[in-house]
A and B are shown apart, each in its own frame.
Chain A
Amino acid sequence: MASELSSPAAPPRATPVRGGEPQVIHPPKRRLRGWLYVLPALAVYLGFAIWPAINTVRLSLLSWDGILPATFVGIENYIKIFRDSALFEAILHSLVLIVFFSFIPIAAGLLMTALLMGKVRKGMTFFRVVFFLPQVLPLVAVGITWRWLYSDTGVINQILDVVGLGSFGRAWLGDYQLALTALGLIGTWSMSGLCMMLFLTGAQKIDPSLYEAAKLDGANTFRQFLHVTLPGVRKEITVAGVITTIAALASFDLVFVTTNGGPAGQTNVPGLLVYRLAFNEGDIGGASALAVVLTVIVMTVVGGIRYFTRDRD
């Protein structure tokens, strides 16, 4: 890690604009010609991300099956979302998933950080590499693996048997009450390492003298963590919150291969219903409206997190 800090790729910290900028006077000609450099990226981005996104908004105002001519229905598709309990519940489920994709992983990540910080000890790199590993895997494979772990004859029930809790055993993802929790815990497994890595990066930048000062004041390891480390990684906690919350709200891959929304719609999430409405049921308008609502929720929540954790000083 140390060698990385000295390389040119060294951590660009929060502030996008800072001291080291070229103090060149930019003649108007260059500022115009520079567009040639931005144009290709902009064209691809506008054409294949922004234009479709705008079109999804347009489609959300139509009643269309994808084949026959569409009719304009105004905001009817949106009203349907709030009337249809299945659609509305899907949104609630994705909000519940935030607990498992975001809150618990942040807590777990802080625990891992506390354990791995400080003096370099034997095996610390090993633990980091292992803890982060789930984050790089395709969620489809993660989902298939956990579907088996959670099954009737799976590893989870086997472990419960061994510790004498065999009577709690069940097909977890098929359980009406617990399916969403079981699904969420897969997210916890996958996201905790990411949070840890963010916090460790942040913790590396804390001035060591703060720890010395805390020690002189008689603070034990736990208090040092609470009063020095935790405030020091505040920014990273925000970032972790934003990334994991988006992953929770917009989840699709994992649900698609594990429960596909079952049992009885208990694990439906917006992403799954957007896909199903648009590409299985031919309700393009409804799918688009739900996608737009999802986007608004993501942006609101992300905006909220950034507002409440902004620098007040």
Chain B
Amino acid sequence: MRGGVGLRYGVLVLLTVMILVPFVGIILAALHPPGAQLDGLSIPDRWSWESFALAWQQGNFTALMRSSVLIAVFVVPLSVVLATLAGFGLQILKVWGNKTLSFAFVMGLTLPIEVIVVALYFNLREVGLTNSYTGIILAEAALFMPFGVYWMQTHFSNIPGELVEAARIDGARDMVVLLRVLLPISWPALTTLSVLYFMWSWNQFMLVLVMMQDPERRTAPGGLGLFVGQYTTDIPLLAAACLIVVAPIVVVYLIFQRSFVSGITQGAIKG
């Protein structure tokens, strides 16, 4: 039995190493001075933060970060509010045609972004919404809507019916039921959804690549995708740029890791 425990930890540590080696490699690489020639994992002769400063400046990350934050700041609340209202209407109010509508939303989960993005670009071009934050924000909200509606519906379906029933008998209107009865007990579900939406919005790449031609208005991952084309050989610089883009999402993950994990797993359980 003791041998079993030893083996168990041995394999766990091996897996941990396999997962962490890329992180260690890229952090070490970024701590080299810009332009340094690297050979695999190597401890820099001289620890340097210059690559970060240079990557930030060359990659124009002030503008990219501003775009990323701006988009997320609008996408997250907008999507969460719309998904909550829709989930409420479909699950609690049982609106006319709710089964069909729920199905229509769930079907969206299997639509690959490729089939949306081509025509979306030309549709938005007609109405002048390419190269605009509004276009990206609405498109992301639409992309994330199937999951959000599904998520809120499952959440509401787990709330005991008597709760809503009691409020109704007291004469509460729909909006009051939602705001006073359901919302106070929905914060964990809403937090999870917000964190997931933030992650998806931050990591979104193809949409930004297609919709935003203006390099100033690209998001951090969008800008990184182009940055890599310009500085192919400067490994420390690229590594630093990657870490700049990754840092916010890793911080959010470590703060909210419970929400991340429960959100991704629960939301996914749809059998």
Q: Is the CB of B89 within 8 A of A37?
A: yes
Give residues 70-116 of B contacting A (CB, 8 Å).
82-83, 85-86, 88-90, 92-96, 101-102, 104-105, 108, 110-116
Chain B's nearest CB lies how many Å from the CB of A34? 3
Q: How many Å lie between the Cα of A248 and that of B35 in the bound state? A: 35
Q: Place the interface of chain B in its size category.
A: 35 or more
Chain A residues contacting B174 (CB-CB under 8 Å) are 30, 33-34, 37
The residue of chain A having its C-beta at the shortest distance from the C-beta of B26 within the complex is: A145
| Interface majority SS (helix, strand, loop, mixed), chain B | helix
Q: Is the CB of B119 within 8 A of A14?
A: no
Q: Is the CB of A47 within 8 A of B118?
A: no
Q: Is the CB of B19 within 8 A of A56?
A: no
A167 an interface residue at 8 Å Cβ cutoff? no
The residue of chain A having its C-beta at the shortest distance from the C-beta of B235 within the complex is: A148
| Contact code string B156-172 (vs A, CB < 8 Å = 1, else 0) | 01111111110010000
B123 an interface residue at 8 Å Cβ cutoff? yes
B4 an interface residue at 8 Å Cβ cutoff? yes
Chain B residues contacting A130 (CB-CB under 8 Å) are 16, 19-20
Q: Is the CB of A274 within 8 A of B114?
A: yes
Q: Is the CB of B82 within 8 A of A271?
A: no
Q: A18-B157, A33-B93, A130-B20 are in contact. List 19 more A-B contacts (CB 8 A).
A: A4-B258, A8-B188, A9-B155, A20-B159, A22-B163, A41-B82, A42-B86, A48-B142, A52-B123, A55-B122, A59-B118, A59-B122, A130-B19, A138-B224, A145-B239, A154-B40, A158-B39, A250-B113, A288-B118
Chain A residues contacting B40 (CB-CB under 8 Å) are 153-155, 157-159
Q: Place the interface of chain A in its size category.
A: 35 or more
9 A/B residue pairs, CB under 8 Å, sorted by A: A4-B188, A18-B158, A20-B161, A52-B118, A137-B250, A141-B246, A257-B228, A287-B118, A291-B114
Q: Is the CB of A22 within 8 A of B225?
A: no
Q: How many Å lie between the Cα of A215 and that of B211 in the bound state? A: 58
Given contacts A20-B157, A249-B112, contact A239 B119 (CB under 8 A): no
Give residues 153-209 of A contacting B (CB, 8 Å).
153-155, 157-159, 189, 193-194, 197-198, 200-201
Stretch of A75-83, A97-105, A292-300 at the chain-chain interface: A292-300
